[in-house]
Amino acid sequence: MSQKLEDILKEKGPIKKIGVIGMGYVGIPAAALFADSDRFDHVLGFQRNSPSSGYKIDMLNRGESPLKGEEPGLEELLQKVVEAGKFECTPDFSRIAELDAVTLAIQTPFADSKALEPDFGALKEGIRNAGRYLQPSMLVVLESTITPGTTDDMARKILEEESGLVAGEDFALAHAPERVMVGRLLRNIQEHDRIVGGIDEASTDRAVELYSPVLTKGNVIPMTATAAEVTKTAENTFRDLQIAAVNQLALYCESMGINVYDVRTGIDSLKGEGITRAMLWPGAGVGGHCLTKDTYHLERGVKLGNENLDYPENAESIYVLARRVNDFMPVHMYNLTQAALQRINKDIKDSKIAMLGWAFINDSDDARNPPSEPYRDMIVDAGAEILIHDPHVLQYPDVDILKGMEEVISGSDAVVIFTGHKEYFNLKPDVIKKMTGMKTTVIIDGRNVIEPDKFIEAGFIYKGIGRGDKNGHEIIK
Ligand code: SAJ
């Protein structure tokens, strides 16, 4: 523990003025909740006045949220804190010098999903801005999802270079990963436990002081900065691993001619202290911006600066293997489509495919890294025609998303369900058959939304993820 930092913070007194850099879906609710706490006097939201997002400044200063989609309570809270004069948004980063603490909530996408290298460009610019105006006794907190080791290394170096100050002596530095999900931003910040990790004890304590007042149900869980980075990336890595485990089980059940959902129910029945199994759901793949990336953040973190990893020789990381299993599911959907069409002597390349569902998650318009995209690319590469329906997704680069189900299904040789939108749970065989106008149609269920027998008895060729009990069914004329 640095006595110098401890003394400086004591001299400074409690945190009163806070800055949040990055007015996005993480920074805006965080800033509003800090401003609403009577423990703090004033909050500045920092937003670059860039052509693409400068409009947010005036909106936020009118108490309006620039975030799309429903966020319960957010607009009211913004109105309240703006009218109370406790929150303002500014492009003037020099005002960081006025503050006691500044948090950075800037996205860290992967520049190239193939190379799996994160793009820290925007985050680095934010850190540089914080460093440029950093004063002794300030606290800097990174909230973005970052590769383990980033706070203690890259962020520390940039802040020290820009400020001439020393982290852990002149200023406090910590990581407090966001755990918010769109649609429940405020509630997640208030109710989830908050992981808070400093580069040293004084930094951790100062960050605990910052976050405790905004928690209603959640508790602060203190640890080191690197442990906090590993916690965030590993909690998503573990979810991806659990999904891969049930996806692999589904593939096994298909090959063994059994129903994975019977097996899932059986395993899930094992309940009780310490013996419960985390049985998630098999499906057409894993999308989004969390699970598709965070495994690679964790893997990079292990490799950077750790020479002494003891692991089975030449064995692949099970976490990376889990990513490969999940990324295989759209390929499996392609293989199921091909196998089903071949049962009626058709081949994908001359077929018309109707895809139901583009979004990566049910009943949402969120289409980041959707598993539907690799499937669609494979279908197009095979020379087939594909039309795509999604009731929520309005647009996607270079992809026409249609709203009329009949238009998409009309004349199609195969109907392929990729997302479990509620609209798809009540598809009727006779209605679909009429829409296709075909004597025999293939239907592929990637999300367990239809009842196989209803379609098989109506003369469809059915294939479903994990439905080894149905996938080889008799064809009913
Ligand atoms: N998926 C499956 N089977 C499952 C669960 C999900 O195939 O049993 C697929 C979904 O279809 C989707 C992908 O995985 O394509 C991701 O789904 P998700 O429910 O994990 O949603 P995300 O990606 O929005 O994950 C976020 C994460 N939250 C944060 O990073 C703050 C994750 O940690 C949460 O567990 C998850 O939301 C949640 O539980 O809602």
Interval 100-153: pLDDT, tens: 999 999 988 887 766 778 899 999 999 999 999 999 999 999 999 999 999 999
Q: If pLDDT is split at 50, 70 and 90, which confidence band does 276 have?
A: confident
Residue 274's pLDDT band (boundaries 50, 70, 90)? confident
Half-sphere exposure of 339 (CA within 13 A, CB side): 15
* Sign, CA torsion 347/352/355/356: negative
**% pLDDT > 90, the chain:** 91
Q: Look at residue 118 in the predicted model and tell me its pLDDT.
A: 87
Question: Residue 1: its pLDDT value, please?
Answer: 63
Q: Does position 60 have pLDDT exceeding 70, yes or no?
A: yes
Is 232 an annotated catalytic residue? yes
User: What average pLDDT score do residues 153-175 get?
Assistant: 98
- Name the strands in the sheet holding 461-464, side by side, starting at the edge strand that comes first in the sequence: 401-402, 385-389, 352-356, 414-417, 442-445, 461-464
Helix or strand holding residue 163 (H, E): helix 156-163
Task: Tell me the per-residue pLDDT of 23-45, one tens digit each, with 9 for 90 and over.
Answer: 999 999 999 999 999 999 999 99
Give the distance (Å) from ligand 1 centre to CA of residue 445.
19
Q: Give yes or no for residue 325 having a pLDDT over 80.
A: yes
What is residue 275's predicted lDDT score, i.e. its pLDDT? 86
Q: Which helix (H) or strand (E) holds 194?
A: strand 194-198
Active-site choice (56, 86, 89, 232)? 232
Taking residues 43-69, what's their average pLDDT?
Answer: 94
Average pLDDT over residues 223-232: 98
248-281 as b/e: b if 16+ CB within 10 A: bbbbebbeeeebbbebbeeeeeeeeeeeeeebbb
Is pLDDT at 86 greater than 70 in this prediction?
yes
Most confident of 31-35, 48-52, 181-185, 363-367: 31-35
What's the whole-number average pLDDT of the chain?
95
Under the banding of pLDDT at 50, 70 and 90, the label for residue 305 is low
Residue 212 has pLDDT above 70, yes or no: yes
Q: Is 179 in the pocket of ligand 1 (CB under 6 A)?
A: yes
Atom of ligand 1 nearest to the CA of 289: 23
CA-to-CA dists, residue 412 to 128, 130, 350, angstroms? 54, 56, 11
State phi, psi for 236 to the nearest 5 degrees. -85, -35
Active-site choice (56, 89, 253, 290): 290
| Per-residue pLDDT at 445 | 98
| Any ligand 1 atom below 6 A from CB of 239 | yes
Average pLDDT over residues 84-98: 98
For 45-82, give one letter per residue: b (16+ CB within 10 A) or e: bbbbeeeeeeebbebbeebebbbeeebeebeebbebbb
Is pLDDT above 90 for 360?
yes
Most distant pair of Cα atoms in the chain: their distance: 84
19 DSSP β-pair partners: 44, 102
* 290 classed as catalytic: yes
For tokens 């479903």, name the residue: 464
User: What would the pLDDT profile of 399-446 be if each residue is shown by its tens digit?
Assistant: 999 999 999 999 999 999 999 999 999 999 999 999 999 999 999 999
pLDDT for the residue numbered 420? 98
Cα–Cα distance list, 271 to 172, 267, 277, 278 (Å): 44, 9, 8, 10
Once rounded to an integer, what is the mean pLDDT over residues 192-211?
98
Closest atom of ligand 1 to CA, residue 188: 31
pLDDT at 440: 93
10 Å Cβ neighbour count for 84? Answer: 10
Domain annotation for the chain: domains and CATH numbers = 3-218 (3.40.50.720), 320-464 (3.40.50.720)
231: which residues sit within 8 A by CB, 6+ positions away?
177, 195, 197, 223
H helices of 257-344, in order, are: 260-268, 294-303, 318-342
Q: How much is the pTM?
A: 0.94
Q: What pLDDT is stored for residue 182 in this prediction?
A: 84
User: What pLDDT, on the 0 to 100 scale, is given for residue 116?
Assistant: 75
- Residue 345 and residue 476: Cα distance in Å, rounded? 15
Ranges assigned E (strand) in 325-441: 352-356, 385-389, 401-402, 414-417
Q: Which of these ranges, 115-129, 186-200, 463-477, has the smallest mean pLDDT?
A: 115-129
SS3 content of the chain, % helix, strand, coil (to 5): 40, 15, 45
Beta carbons within 8 Å of 305's beta carbon, 6+ residues apart: 149, 153
Residue having the nearest C-alpha atom to atom 31 of ligand 1 = 179
> What's the CA-to-centroid distance between 22 and ligand 1, angstroms?
24
What tokens does 328 get? 């295989």
**Token duo for residue 420:** 């479990």
In a mutational test of the pocket of ligand 1, which residue from 291, 297, 421 has the highest number of ligand atoms less than 8 Å from its CB?
A: 291
pLDDT at 389 over 90: yes
Kindly report the protein residue whose alpha carbon is nearest to atom 14 of ligand 1. 286
In the chain, pLDDT over 70 holds for what percent of residues?
A: 99
333 close to 446: Cβ distance less than 8 angstroms:
yes
